[in-house]
Structure 1
Amino acid sequence: MKEKLRAHIENIILLRDDEFAHILSHFSFETFKKNDFLIHEGDQVKFCYLIVTGLLKLVYDDKNGKQHIVSFAMEDWWESDFSAYFSQTNAKMSLQCIEDTTVFSLSFANYQKLAAESPKMKQFFLEKSNSGHIASQNRILSFLTSSAKERYEQLLNQYPLLFQRVPKTLLASYLGVSRETLSRLSS
């Protein structure tokens, strides 16, 4: 599994063997079962996660008890309640496995340590963060400017594997439509 972490990092920066060994020592490898929670709303967020295998959903439960899918995360993606992770506060969202999942977890303390010690990792984290901000802004713009059908088609074109792996009820929540509307959009 460590080869997957190295390949992921080396998509952005190149590492010597000794550099990678040092970086690897800051991560933990964990396995979770389908429906397990990595983060519960209200808990302190201690880790961010690089998904090695599996699929996760980041959800927000509103005051009426309605669950909103904020994001999905599959192989080679990072996920957490990043606001709570970086501010070291309690989670406003929950992170749950949709499939059996393996991850590399990185504590906030180890994130800070790696960023301070390694200019290469600081650059890596900056590029990953920028990519995440761009994706988040694109999702917001999609909700502001696109119809439900256009959002559906964008998601299908960008992440066709999600449609094979995610139940339609969850896809509907992510797109901000009812299950019935999603059925109409997909026909």
Structure 2
Amino acid sequence: MEEILRRQIEKIVKLTDDEFSFVLSHFTARSYKKHQYLVQANNPAPNDNFVVKGLLKSFYIDDAGKTHILQFAMEDWWISDPQAYHNKVNATLNIDCLEDTDIFFISIDNREKLCAEMQKMEYFFMKKTTAGYIALQKRILSLMSQKSEERYAQFVQLYPDLLSRVPKALIASYLGISRETLSRMSTF
């Protein structure tokens, strides 16, 4: 499991064995079962989670009880409630497992300590955070400006592996369309 985390980090910064041991000492490994929550709304969300194995979803339930999928996270992806994590407040989002999942997590306190002591990791997290903001902007613009067919085609292009792993109802929620609309589009 450690090697997967190391490969993730070394896509951006190279580490010696000693440096990686130091980095790893700031993370904790944990396993979750399918349907188990990592984060629940109105509770603390003190960790940023790197997915080693498995699949998770981040979602919000509005006042009318409707579920809105914000993000999926599979192997080699990060997931958290950024507002809760960085501001040390209770979560707005829920994060649960769609499959049995293994993660490495890092608390905000450990992340801040690690970044203060190791410039390489400060750079790594800055690059990952920036990439996340860019992806979020693209997703919001897609929801605002693209037709449902275009959003579905983009999803298929960007995340082909998720099509066989995520129930269609969840993909529809992520795309902001009905399950019926998704079924019509996915038959083409």
What is the TM-score when the length of structure 2 is the normalising length?
A: 0.99
Give % identity.
49
Match of 2:7?
7
SS of residue paired to 2:160: coil
1:153 shift after superposition: 0.2
Residue 14 of structure 2 corresponds to residue 21 of structure 1: no
| Structure 1 residues 160-182: Cα deviation after superposition (integer angstroms, max 9, x where no partner) | 01101000000000000110000
Q: Which amino acid aligns with 2:108?
A: F
User: Which residue number corresponds to residue 144 of structure 2?
Assistant: 144
Q: Match of 1:93, as an amino acid?
A: L
**Per-residue deviation, residues 118-153 of structure 1 (Å, max 9, x unmatched):** 100000000000100010000011011100000000
Q: Which amino acid aligns with 1:163?
A: L
1:60 & 1:150 partners in 2: Cα distance?
23
- Within 2, Cα distance between the matches of 1:143 and 1:46? 29
- Show CA shifts across 1:33-88 (max 9, x none): 00000001010111110000000000000001111000100100100001110000
User: Within 5 A, what are the aligned runs for 1:36-185?
Assistant: 36-185=36-185
Task: Give the Cα–Cα distance (whole angstroms) in 2 for the partners of residues 25 and 175 of structure 1.
Answer: 38
Whole-angstrom CA distance in 2 between matches of 1:75 and 1:121:
20
Cα deviation for residue 183 of structure 1 reads 0.4
Counterparts of 2:45 and 2:172 in 1: how far apart (Å)? 27
Q: RMSD over aligned Cα, in angstroms? A: 0.5
Aligned residues: 187
Query: What is the TM-score normalised by the length of structure 1?
Result: 0.99
SS at match of 1:161: helix
Q: After the TM superposition, which segments of 4 or more aligned residues of structure 1 sit over 6 Å from their partners?
A: none
State the distance in 1 between where 2:118 and 2:56 align. 29
Q: What letter is aligned with 2:14?
A: L
SS of corresponding position for 2:155: helix
**What SS is found at the alignment partner of 1:90?**
coil
Measured after TM superposition, the shift of residue 17 of structure 1 is: 0.8
Distance 2:94 2:145 in 1: 27
Distance (whole Å) between structure 1 residues aligned to residue 61 and residue 17 of structure 2: 43
How far apart in 2 are the matches of 1:180 and 1:23?
A: 46
1:164 is matched by which residue type in structure 2? Answer: S
